Structure 1
Amino acid sequence: MRLSIDPDKCSGHARCVARAPDLFDVDDEGASFVLVDEVGPDLAEDARKAVDVCPERAISLHED
């Protein structure tokens, strides 16, 4: 599974970083970005919860 963030929707709340710091970080301008290419089974639940906590609905989860 893969994660992506729509930079046009991200407002920099960083709730994804707080919920899943192994999957997300924040750049110098305050926008979140994904740290991993593939989400392993051990982090799948964190990925789903990060999607749920994003107030802007900027995060997408792509289950391959």
Structure 2
Amino acid sequence: MSVIYILLTISIIIAIVFFFAFIMAVKNGQYDDSYTPSVRMLFDDELVKETPKKADSTKKD
């Protein structure tokens, strides 16, 4: 039974260390995307379809 307590304690400590390492990596900009903004202008823009306006039924000719 004492082995379970030891393994649980060690696993919690390792989880805290990995969480701290992840937070530090995010704060230091490890996951910032510096490549995509430089090539964004090379991608085709999506075409925006305009919805046709309904004919005004009250319009008199």
Same fold by TM-score, threshold 0.5 exceeded? no
Higher relative contact order (CA 8 A, sep 6+): 1
TM-score with structure 1 setting the length? 0.23
Report the structure number with the largest CA radius of gyration. 2
TM-score with structure 2 setting the length? 0.24
**Larger relative strand fraction:** 1
**Larger relative helix fraction:** 2
